[in-house]
Amino acid sequence: MEQRFTIVTLGVADLPAARAFYERLGWTPSSFGGDEIAFFQVGGLVLGLFPREELAKDMALAATPPPQTGGFSLAYNARSKEEVDAVLEQAVAAGATLMKAAEEVFWGGYSGYFHDPDGHAWEVAFNPHWPLAEDGSVQIPK
């Protein structure tokens, strides 16, 4: 298996509401997928939104309750501390819940967290050790 992944799919309680949240963040959904699933092109990856019960069924699992945070987070790396603050404010205005206000962190950066309306945790961080390319991609040091 190559060291990569291509899609992150989040199970959501209400697909139209989840799609609308990401659209309020300024993201543009793909027309592919129709009303059954939503896809957003995010750099070289895809974010998928799929009804939680349907995602569980697709994985041959029983439907699960909304996620508890702490097991994983999605991350948005910003180009500055000011952008971190602005993105957290934008997320809250779009319907997110602020989990942790941005602050200086032990690894030398600045970060905070929000929950999207389905409880998925997002970190918004400025990492001075991982500069972003113009297209927003990051290359971790070897």
The string of pLDDT tens digits covering residues 45-64 is: 999 999 999 998 988 988 77
SS3 50: strand
Percent of the chain's residues with pLDDT above 90: 72
pLDDT band (50, 70, 90) for residue 93: very high
pTM for the full predicted model? 0.88
User: Is 100 within a domain?
Assistant: yes
Q: What is the pLDDT of residue 63?
A: 74
User: Is 136 within a domain?
Assistant: no
Spatial contact of 135 and 109, defined as CB atoms under 8 Å apart: no
Nearest to 138 by CA among 85, 90, 96, 75: 75
Residues 46 and 86 in one domain: no
Question: How many domains are there within the chain?
Answer: 2
User: Is 142 within a domain?
Assistant: no
User: Is 25 within a domain?
Assistant: yes
List the CATH number of the domain containing 112: 3.10.180.10
User: Is 64 within a domain?
Assistant: no
By the 10 Å C-beta count (0-12 exposed, 13-18 middle, 19+ buried), 72 is classed as exposed
Tell me how far apart the alpha carbons of residues 33 and 112 are, in angstroms, rounded to a whole number: 32
pLDDT > 70? residue 66: no
Rounded to 5 degrees, φ, ψ at 127 are: -120, 105
User: Is 141 within a domain?
Assistant: no
Residues 108 and 84 in one domain: yes
User: Is 114 within a domain?
Assistant: yes
pLDDT in tens, 7-58: 999 999 999 999 999 999 999 999 898 889 999 999 889 999 999 999 989 8
Q: What is the pLDDT of residue 20?
A: 97
Q: What is the pLDDT of residue 33?
A: 80
pLDDT band (50, 70, 90) for residue 139: confident
Spatial contact of 7 and 45, defined as CB atoms under 8 Å apart: yes
Residues 91 and 51 in one domain: no
Q: Give me the mean pLDDT over the 96-107 stretch.
A: 96
Q: What is the pLDDT of residue 70?
A: 63
- Identify the domain containing residue 87 by its residue range: 74-126
User: Is 15 within a domain?
Assistant: yes
Nearest to 38 by CA among 24, 23, 53: 23
